[in-house]
Structure 1
Amino acid sequence: MLIEVGLLVAGALSLALGALSIPQWGRIPEARFFLMTTIGTSAWAFGVALFLAATSETTLVAAASAYYIAAALIALAAFLLGYTAYKQEAPRQSFVAWVSLPFFAWAVCLWLLPEVLLPGVSVGGQNTAELNPALYIWYIIYFALYYVVGVTLLYRSIARTRTKQRARMNYLFWAYASAGVIGMLYNLVLPGLGNYHLIWIGPLGLLVFVPIVYVAIMRYGLFDIRQTVARTLAYTGTLATLAGIYVVALTAISTWLLPDEVTSVQYNVNVVIMLCLVFAFQPIKRFFDSVTNQIFYRHQYHREQFYRQVSAALTKTTELHKLLNNMATLFATTLKSKGVVILVYRGDEMVASGKRRRSPVPLQDLRWLDERVKQARTLLIDRNEISLAGDNELERFLVSHRAQLVLPLKQADGILGYVFLDEHQSGRYMRRDREVLETVADELVIAIQNALSVEEIRELNETLQQRVNEATKELRLSNAQLRKLDEAKDEFISMASHQLRTPLTSIKGYVDMILEGDAGEITPMQRKFLTEAFVSSERMVHLINDFLNVSRLQTGTFAIDKRPVDLAKVVGQELDSLKISASGRDLAFRYKKPQSLPKLLLDEGKIRQVIMNFSDNALYYSRPGTEIKVSLEVEGEDVVLQVKDTGIGVPEEEQARLFTKFYRASNARKQRPDGTGVGLYLAKRVITEHGGSVVFSSVEGKGSTFGFRLPLERLRVRDDANQLDDKPDDK
C-alpha cells in the first residue's frame, strides 16, 4: 500500500509541475511539450499504482494499457520537446501531426485491442502481464527511438543557447536523461523479461525528475512562477467578486423587492442574476488581470524577445554609429533607463553614441576605468554594489557621470568600450536586467569588432580606389604604347615571313631535285645530309606559314577562302611530300584513299596546313619501325580524317589545354624542344571556321589520334554531281 501511495504522490507532483508551464505557452515553445510530458508521467505513475492494486483481470488489463499508452506519450513529448529546443522555435502543426501518428496507433491498439500486446494477465499475489514478444519489441523500438532522439536533441541544444538558458537546458537534459534511464530499465526491459516485481521503481524516478526541474525553475527561471501566481490571484478575485455580487443581489431582491413572491418567481430571478454574472465574467477578469499585471509585471519584458531584438539590431547595419545608436535605443527602451550611451575605442580616439543629454565620458577617465576593470575582473559594474563595498573612488566616478550600471565590452586583448546606463526610470534595475546585459555583451563586442573592421576596409578601399585610378591612368598610357609595339611586331612578323618564304621554297625545291637524282648520283652520306636539309627547310616553311596565320589572327585579317577541293587528293599529296622525312625516320604512312568522295568547299591552303601539322607531329613523336595510319571516310553526315600514331601520347591531365595557343605537353617539350605550340591552335581555328570540329584521343605511352570532322552537306559542292572514281591506293 505504501508503494501505491508513493506512486500517487509522484504523479501528483509531476502534474503540479506541469501546471506551472501552462501560462508560458505563448512565450516558451517547449512549455506545451513539457506539460505533455508531465501528463504522461502522471498517467504512467497512476497506471502503475492501479496495476499493483488491481484485484480483477479487467482492472489489471485497463491499468496496463493505460501506463503503456502513457509511456508512449512520454516518448512523443520528449522528442517534440528536444526538437523544439534544438530548433529554438515551435514546430509546424503538420510535423507534429506526422510524428504523432505512431503514438495514436499504439494508443488505439492498446485501448481497443489490449489483448494484442497483452494476451494474458495474472491477478493475485504479484500482478503480472503476459506480453506479445514480437509486438513488444516494436513498442520498445518506438519508445527508445523517440525518447533517445529527443534527449539527444535536448543535449545538442545546450551548445546553441545563451549562458543562462544553457543552464536551464542542462537541467532539463539531466532530468529527462536520469528519469528515462530508470524508466526504460524497470518498465521496459524488465517487464519484457517477465519481471513485474520492480515496475514501481520506474515512476518513482519522478522523485528525481521533479526536484531537478524545480531547481531549474527557481534558480534559472525555467518557468515564470509569478505568472502562475498572478493568474491564480486574477481568477480568485474574479470568482470572489462574482460570488459576492450574486449573494448581495439575491439577498437584496429576495428581502426588499420580492419578499412574498412564490418560489417560481424567485427561481426566475435567480436565473437572470446568473446570466448577468456570466456576461460580467470577462470584464471583471480583465480588470483583475490588469491589476495583477501592474503588481507583478510593472517593468517586465520577455528575455527571448529581447534577445531576438538584439540579434536583429546587431545584424541590421555594419555602420558603427548606427549600430551603437540602435543598441543604445534598444537598451533604454527595454530596460527603462533614463539614458544609455555606448563608448567604443577606435585607435587613439573614442566613438560615442546613445540616448543621453550630456557630454560623453572623457577619454582619460575611460583609461582610468580600464585599469580598475582589469583589476576587478568584473562582468558588470553596479553603483549599488560599489557603494556597499565602500569603493569611494569608483563610486564618485559613477556618480559624476550619472551612471547606475556600466557594462565593460571586453575582448581578448583588452577593453573595446563600455555601455553606460543611467538610473532606472521608476526604481532600480532588477537582477534579470543585469543578467541580460551580461548575456548580450559578447554578441555586442563581436558586432562592434565587425563594424570597426568594415570601417577600416571602407577607408582602405577609398585609399586603394584613389591609387587604382592613378595606376589605371598609367596603365592606359602603357597599354597604348604596348599596342603600338604589338602592331609593329605583327607588321614585322608578316613582312619577314613573306620575305623568308620565297627563298626557302626555292631551297626546298632544289634539295628535292638533288634527292630525286636530277643532278646525278649522290652517295648515301650525301643523301643523309640532304634529307636533313630538306626536312629542316620543310619545317621552316610550315613554321613561317603558322606565324603568318597567327599574325593574321592578331590583326583580324585571318579569313577562309572556300573553293571546290578534292580532299582525298590533297591528303595524298601532303603525305607524298613527307615520304622523304618518313623514310629518314624508318616510318611509313598507310593511307587508304576513299573510292568516292564529293568535292568540298574548303580553303585548300589552310586545310593543307592542318593535314601537314597532324602528319608532321605523327612523324616526330612515333617510334621508328612503325606505321602511321591515315584514314579519310564518310561517317554519317560528316567527312572524317584521322591520323593515328604509336608515339609518346599526351598525359591525361594536360589534354584539356593541348589546343590552346603556345601550349605544348610536357613530354613533347622533352622530345622536341624546338616546337612553337601554335600548330594545333591554328588547326583548331581553321577547322572551326569551316564549321567542323577537331578529333583527338590519346593514351600516354601508346599513341595519339589527331584529325577533324567536317559537315558533308554544308560543305558539299552543289553543282558537282561527279564522284571520285579513283581506285583505292594504299600508301
Structure 2
Amino acid sequence: MIISQVLPLLSAIFVIGLGFFILLKNLKSSINIVFFFLSVVVTIWLVGTYRMFVSVVDDQIMFWDRFIYIGVVYVPSLMYHFSILFTKQKKQGQSVFLSYVVGTFFLIMSSTPYFVEGVFRYEWGVHSKAQLFHHIFMLYFAVFIGLLFYNVVKFYRFTDSGVARSQARYVLLAFGVLVSIGTLGFLPAYGISIFPFSYLSGLFFTIILAYSILKYRFMDIRFIFKKSTVFLASLLLALGSSYFIFNFLTWNFPRVDNLDILALLVGLLVMQPARLLFGYIANKYFFADIYDYNEVLRDLSHRLTSTIDLDEIATAIVNTVLDSFRLEKTGLVLHKQINSSVRFQSVKVHGFSKQELNTFSNNQFLKKYLEINQGALSVDEIPLRVRRIHDQEFVNNLLALMKLMRELHITLCIPMFKENHLLGLLILGRKISKESYSNKDFELVETLANQASVALDNALLYQKVKDFNLELQNKVDAATKDLMRTNKKLQYTNANLQQLDKAKSEFLSITSHQLRTPLSGIKGYLSMLIDGDFGKMTPRVGKVIKELYQNSERMSRLINTFLNISRIEANRLMLNKTEVDFTELLRTTFNDFKPEAKKKNLKYLLHLPKKNICFYMDSDKIKDVVINLIDNAIKYTLQGEVVISAEMDAKKLTIKVEDTGVGMKPSEIDNLFQKFSRGIGIAQINTGGSGLGLYIVRKITEAHCGKAFAKSRGKDKGSVFGVELPICKKVR
C-alpha cells in the first residue's frame, strides 16, 4: 500500500473523531449537530476515496466513486447551513432548505451516467470522469461555498465581540484550507493528474479547528476534550504497563500459564491512579481555566447566603473569580460614603493596588458609560464599539478610558446594580494563561455580579447598622473608662451613662413618633380621598391615590420592622399582654391586604372558626406576625391563591398562611427564619425584600412561648407559613 492511498483514511479518522467530540459535548445544539453531519459527509468522501484507490476492477472503482458522492453532494449545503448557525442568522430557513433540495437532486443524478462515467487512471490513483451534471454540480458547489465565506466574513467585520472575531478568523482559515486544498481532488475527474495531497485537507481542517477550540472555546468542547484526553492517556499507560509486564513475565517464566491475565490485572490496577495523575496534570498545566458553570454559581450562592459580613462576602466574590478564571489581578470596589462625599472605594484586591482601582473606578466617564450601557466593559472590544459611535467627544473619552485600562492592566470591568443604582464594580485583569475571555466567561461573570449585588447591598446596610452600634459602643467604652479613672466622678459619670441610655430610648421613641405620626396623617387623608370625603375623583386620580395609600401601608410596615429589629437586638422586646379578640384582629389585617392581592389578581381567602377566638396576647406584636406572614405570601405568589386560616384547640392557637407561590426545597426551610435569610432564587422574583420579616415572626412568636413553622412540597409547588401560640388563660 503506497502513501497516496493512506492519506484519505488518515484524514477521515481525524475528521470523524472531531465530529464525535463536538456532538457529544451538546446533543441538543444545532450547530454541533450540523458540524457532526458535515464531518460525516467529509468522512464518507475520504473513506470512499481510500476504497476507490485500492480497487482494481473498473466496476468497483465506479461503485466507490458514486459512494463518495453520497457525502460530497451535501458538503456545500452543510457548510452553508453551518455558516448560518455560526453567524446567528434567523431568517435563512428557505435558502438552507433549497440547498438541501439541490444536494438531493445531485445525489440522485450521481448514480446515472450523466454525472460520472468511465475511469481515468493516473500515476497516483484513479477517478471517474466528469459528465454534464457534474459541471453543473461544481457551479452549485461554488455558489454555496461562496455564501459560507460571505456570511463568516460579514460576521467578522461587524461583530463587537473580540472572542467571536477570533473564532470567525479560524473558521475562515479552517474552511479555506478544506475547500482550497480539498477541491483539488476534483481535478482527476477532468483528466488532470495530481498527487492526492488534497486529501490531507481534512487533517489540516481538524488541526486548525482543534486549536480554535482550545484557544477560543469554539463550540465549547474543551471540557469533554480534557476528559477524553485524560482517559486516553490513562488507557495507553495501562495498556503499555500490561504489555511490558506480559513480555517481562513471558521472558523470565516461559512455562507458566495465564500470564496474560496477570498482566491485564496489573493494567487495571494502574488505570485509576493514572487517571488521577493525568487529571491533576491536565488541571494544573493544560486545562487550568476550565470550570463547571453551574458548580461555580452554586458554590458562590452558598457562600453569599451563609454570611452578612461585608469583608467575607467581598472575599468570596474575589476568590470565586480568581479560582474560576485563573487571573493575575482582580478587585472589588463599592460605592461608599467617605467623609462628606460618596465615592468608589476598594474593598478587596488581588494583584492591583488599591490606589490604582480607586483612580480607575472614580473616573466620571466610566460611571456615566456603565450607567448608560449597564453591561460589562471589555478593553479588547472598545475599538470595535468606537466604529459605530458618531459623537466624537464620546469616542475620545472612550479611547482615553481604554488607554487607562491598558496602563493599569485592566481587561474587564463588570458593573453591579441594585434597582438601577450602581452599587460597585468587579474589575478583572488578564488570565495567567494570557487567553482572552470567552462568551461563556462573560455570561458567568455577569451572573456572578447579579448574585453578588443583592448580598453586597444587604451587607452594606448591615455594616451601617453595625458601625452605628460600634460608634455607640465606643462612646459607652469611653464613658466606662472615665468611670474607672476616678471615684470622685463616679456619680456624675453614672448619671451621664443613664442619661445616654435614656437618650437612646428616647431616640427610638421619637423616631417612631416622628415617622409614624406624619405617615398616619398621610394615610388618613388618603383614606378620606378614597372614601370620597373631599369629593368625587376621576378614575385616573383615584388609581394614583390608591397606589399612594398602598405605598404608605408598606412604609408603615417597614418602620415597624426596623423598630422591632432594634428592640430585639437590644434585648428589649417587651410584651404588653391583654385579652384580645383575635378573630377581629385577623379579619382587619386580612382586609388591609386586599388591594395588594387584587392588584396581582390572586384568589384571596380567609377561613375562621365560627366561635370568636379571645385570649391574652400582645395584640400589636401578634399583628406584626400576621402582617409579615401575609405580606410574604403575596410577594412571592405570582398567580393562584393565598389562604389565611386560624384554628384553636384546648392548648394552642394555630395561624396558617397557604399560597401557590414559588415554593422551596426542604433544605432551604431551616434557614428561612434567620436574619437576612432568603430562599435561593428569590431575589430575581422580588428584589425589595429585606430578609427580616420571618426573623421577626420567629422572635415575637418565641417571646409568646410559641414556635414558627414553614412547609413546602418543592419548587413552584407553593408553601405554608404559620405560627403556633399556647393559649394563655390569664395575664402573666
Alignment TM-score, normalising by the size of structure 1:
0.39
Instruction: Answer with 1 or 2: which has the greater Rg.
Output: 1
Alignment TM-score, normalising by the size of structure 2:
0.39
